[in-house]
Structure 1
């Protein structure tokens, strides 16, 4: 069989689709099949069974291309529907009381702030590390004998030297251990949602002057007086 015509066809297909194209499309597959028939050895032509097999392969490829296109359209539709539902739900959260995962806290001028956390098991020691927004450590404190479940530690807003820190947002890290063995913990924030912000990075809720992603919300309830 003379493959020069087939090579010229594949070269033409690659030129049309760009030099980086490495997969045959539906049209290119059909062109190759036709070229193979035209250039078959007349002394030893393709038998009917072989031709039928290749036609079946082409039909399978065509069906797979159609299925893939349909799945892609379905995925796009689901993503649009999910985004629309998320936006609608987020708008309805304004004024609601929300509990969300967040290691960020806000310190108001002259006030203390609560660090709310949950332990999977009781801990003999829990260490709290407070850092400023630029990552600088400002306070480290250890408390002992903490039960499992929801707990609260109150930060008085002072650094390790007893100086009052400026108002603003800080991050907190909770390190819990039980006789030297790590205890899993979660840090969260609670408050009424006062604003919903839509951005290219997702939907965010504002509560207690902290921004939390809507995907980090754990509980939603009626608004509370603060």
Structure 2
């Protein structure tokens, strides 16, 4: 003779199984059905399973299965979207782009192209070029500027009018409107030599060895 099974403890076991995040919907379904059959076969005739409890448990297992299917579908769509974006971004290979950065090289007395992205109209924009020691060698007053991407005209000279030595320099941009920072973004130019990706999304790989997210590309030429 089979021993009666306590319905409350069985229900608790089923609910505990449903709550295990590590279990897949298929595993949960299998465990659920095994416990349900065991419970029905061994239930106390004087205290049979409540139909409302059975309905609730069936609804839970259906919800878990449905959520996993939705998750799998979303992951597939995201993967497909990422692949499409990577293919579309491949058209940037060989093109010059403007991306966020703060380094500017000078070669043969000529400075590389730099620019600034101004989120909103600024009544004052200033650029400072610094040498490797952090000393300011050139200050460029761009005055007021509207929102958008603007080239920074640096002729490779210092504030005294002399040509700076070849090498790498840093630059920073400040912009204000009514005395408040508008958050300008310094931009550098680079030629795209390839496309790759990581957890942040699709990346453009530049000839200088740096990379930038394709969403950060401000200008293409």
* TM-score, reference length from structure 1: 0.64
| 1:176–1:182 CA contact under 8 A, matched in 2 | yes
Distance change >3 Å, CA 145–CA 215, structure 1 → 2 = closer
| Root-mean-square deviation over aligned CA pairs | 4.2
Structure 1: segments with no counterpart, 5+ residues: none
The 5-angstrom pairing of residues 38-187 of structure 1 reads 38=41, 40-46=43-49, 50-51=50-51, 53-98=52-97, 100-109=98-107, 110-119=109-118, 120-128=120-128, 130=130, 137-139=134-136, 141=139, 143=141, 145-149=143-147, 150-155=149-154, 157=156, 164=164, 167-168=167-168, 171-187=170-186
| 2:104–2:111 CA contact under 8 A, matched in 1 | no
Structure 1: distance between partners of 2:142 and 2:84: 44
Q: How many positions carry a matched residue from both structures?
A: 203
Offset at 1:107? Answer: 0.5
Structure 1: distance between partners of 2:177 and 2:61: 61
Structure 2: distance between partners of 1:26 and 1:63: 9
Distance change >3 Å, CA 122–CA 199, structure 1 → 2 = closer
* TM-score, reference length from structure 2: 0.65
Instruction: Determine the structure 2 residue equivalent to 1:26.
Output: 29
Offset at 1:121? Answer: 1.3
CA deviation string 1:203-225 (max 9, x = no partner): 224267764322212344xx5xx
